[in-house]
Amino acid sequence: MIDQEYDKTPDRNMALEFCRGTEAAALAAGRWMGRGDKIAADGAAVNAMRYMLNTIHMDGMVVIGEGEKDEAPMLFNGEKLGTGKGPKVDIAVDPIDGTRLTALGLSGAISVVAMAPSGTMFDPKCVFYMDKLVVGPEAKDVVDIEASVEENIANVAKAKSKDVCDVTVVVLDRPRHSDLIARIRAAGARIKLIPDGDIGGALLTCKSDRGADILMGIGGTPEAVITACAIKALGGNMQGKLWVKNDDEMMCATGQGLDVNKVLLLDDLVSSDDVFFSATGITDGDFLSGVRYESDRIVTSSLVMRSKSGTVRYVEAIHRPKKLDAISGIDYKDCR
């Protein structure tokens, strides 16, 4: 009788269960804020997230994990997660989107998990970077990654009943974006440069009171798939094209059957309409507050979404570390 509850496809809102994983990672990583050690911060987040995700009733596989780029011993691509009983699902994790932000005590670091039915998430394989274009619901039908920068900005402005000079474009602050930044400025739009964390940057385009209209530029492919899950839940749109740095990556991509010229639409990045997403703030940001450590409690701020129901929840949680330590394998009081 119990086994009948564990269907092959996710039915209940599992995003709330995944929130426990992002909360755990944020609680652990937040201890390292500003301490200059991004490896230690990431290790703490990975351990905590993995512990929590393995308590969930699911037959999960990490499709987007710490990956080859991070040489991760845990939460790696292909790792099985969960109790093994429950729906078969693809999982995308980023225990810290913004490890450098965390290490330096800068704003915008978050912990993220996304989940979808098995076989529905895009696997970027050996290609680590993607050119991305992300907009919120109002402009979802007017953008094209193969159109010019100027045309996309103009179309977004028209869709949102704005002047071009009132449009704000989110761009990762990288040398590779010098030409992109120059073109945006020449078009007359505003720019919000972010040092890291383009998942959080993309989320800003879907929240009207945060003043961002479009995200452009090249960022990580793992982050792109996670972003697609969030954008699908928020009703926005995203397009991408794989971006290779050199001939070796091109040969690898070709050998693995990837087409670097193909425009990847939102449904290419995550084909299911039943996507779950959870993010918890590690440091204070535009979208979520960071972890607050108080004398006998810790406070976290999270965003929890499911695309099938359209439900978006903001969850502020109060954690009692002494009680958590008694029932968990994670030492939430450790600040060594």
pLDDT(71) > 60 = no
Angle separating helix axes 38-53 and 15-30, nearest 10 degrees: 150
Q: Yes or no: say if 15 and 277 are a contact pair by the CB < 8 Å rule.
A: yes
pLDDT of residue 325: 73
pLDDT of residue 321: 81
Q: What would the mean pLDDT of 58-70 be, rounded to a whole number?
A: 80
User: Measured between alpha carbons, how far is residue 182 from residues 96, 136, 156 in Å?
Assistant: 30, 23, 18
**Annotation-wise, does 42 bind a ligand?**
yes
Sorting pLDDT into bands at 50, 70 and 90, what band is 1?
very low
pLDDT of residue 264: 97
Q: What would the mean pLDDT of 119-133 be, rounded to a whole number?
A: 94
Q: What would the mean pLDDT of 128-137 be, rounded to a whole number?
A: 96
pLDDT(335) > 70 = no
**Annotation-wise, does 98 bind a ligand?**
yes
Sorting pLDDT into bands at 50, 70 and 90, what band is 298?
very high
pLDDT of residue 295: 84
- Digit-coded pLDDT (tens) for 172-211: 999 999 999 999 999 999 999 999 988 999 999 998 777 7
User: Measured between alpha carbons, how far is residue 238 from residues 201, 222, 229, 244, 309 in Å?
Assistant: 13, 14, 10, 19, 20
| DSSP 8-class letter at 264 | B
**Annotation-wise, does 313 bind a ligand?**
no
Residue 141 burial (CB < 10 Å; 0-12/13-18/19+)?
exposed
**Annotation-wise, does 294 bind a ligand?**
no
- Digit-coded pLDDT (tens) for 218-241: 999 999 999 999 999 999 999 999
Q: What would the mean pLDDT of 328-332 be, rounded to a whole number?
A: 67
pTM of the model: 0.90
Measured distance CA(313)–CA(101) in Å, rounded = 25
pLDDT of residue 333: 60
Give the count of beta carbons closer than 10 Å to the beta carbon of residue 327.
7
In the numeric block, which tokens belong to residue 133? 């274009």
pLDDT of residue 296: 87
Q: Yes or no: say if 239 and 79 are a contact pair by the CB < 8 Å rule.
A: no
Sorting pLDDT into bands at 50, 70 and 90, what band is 10?
low
**Annotation-wise, does 105 bind a ligand?**
no
Mean pLDDT of the chain: 90
Q: What would the mean pLDDT of 114-143 be, rounded to a whole number?
A: 95
DSSP per residue, 26-52: HHHHHTTTTSS-HHHHHHHHHHHHHHH
**Annotation-wise, does 286 bind a ligand?**
no
Q: What would the mean pLDDT of 118-131 be, rounded to a whole number?
A: 93
Type of residue numbered 279: A
**Annotation-wise, does 66 bind a ligand?**
yes
Q: What would the mean pLDDT of 125-148 be, rounded to a whole number?
A: 96
pLDDT(70) > 60 = no
Q: What would the mean pLDDT of 305-327 be, rounded to a whole number?
A: 87
pLDDT(34) > 90 = yes
**Annotation-wise, does 201 bind a ligand?**
no
pLDDT of residue 2: 37
| DSSP 8-class letter at 290 | -
**Annotation-wise, does 174 bind a ligand?**
yes
Strand positions, DSSP E, the chain: 59-64, 80-81, 88-97, 110-117, 129-135, 168-172, 190-194, 214-220, 237-243, 276-281, 292-293, 298-306, 311-319
**Annotation-wise, does 175 bind a ligand?**
yes
Sorting pLDDT into bands at 50, 70 and 90, what band is 15?
confident
Rounded percentage of the chain residues whose pLDDT exceeds 90: 78
Q: What is the bridge-based pairing of β-strands 168-172 and 190-194?
A: parallel
Handedness of CA 123, 302, 86, 117 (dihedral sign): negative
Q: How many degrees, rounded to 5, is the angle at CA 87 between CA 306 and CA 97?
A: 50
Sorting pLDDT into bands at 50, 70 and 90, what band is 4?
very low
pLDDT of residue 3: 44
Residues 6+ apart with CB under 8 A from 264: 122, 130, 239, 240, 241, 242
pLDDT(334) > 70 = no
Residue 73 burial (CB < 10 Å; 0-12/13-18/19+)?
exposed
In the numeric block, which tokens belong to residue 241? 């094209």
- Digit-coded pLDDT (tens) for 245-270: 888 889 999 999 999 999 999 999 99
Taking alpha carbons only, the member of 102, 42, 109, 30 closest to residue 71 is 42
SS3 content of the chain, % helix, strand, coil (to 5): 35, 25, 40
Sorting pLDDT into bands at 50, 70 and 90, what band is 336?
low
**Annotation-wise, does 198 bind a ligand?**
yes
**Annotation-wise, does 196 bind a ligand?**
yes
**Annotation-wise, does 292 bind a ligand?**
no
User: Measured between alpha carbons, how far is residue 193 from residues 36, 157, 171, 176, 190 in Å?
Assistant: 22, 19, 5, 13, 10
Residues 6+ apart with CB under 8 A from 124: 64, 130, 221, 222, 224, 225, 242, 258
Domains and CATH numbers, the chain: 14-118+274-325 (3.30.540.10), 129-269 (3.40.190.90)
Q: What would the mean pLDDT of 2-26 be, rounded to a whole number?
A: 74
pLDDT of residue 229: 95
**Annotation-wise, does 17 bind a ligand?**
no
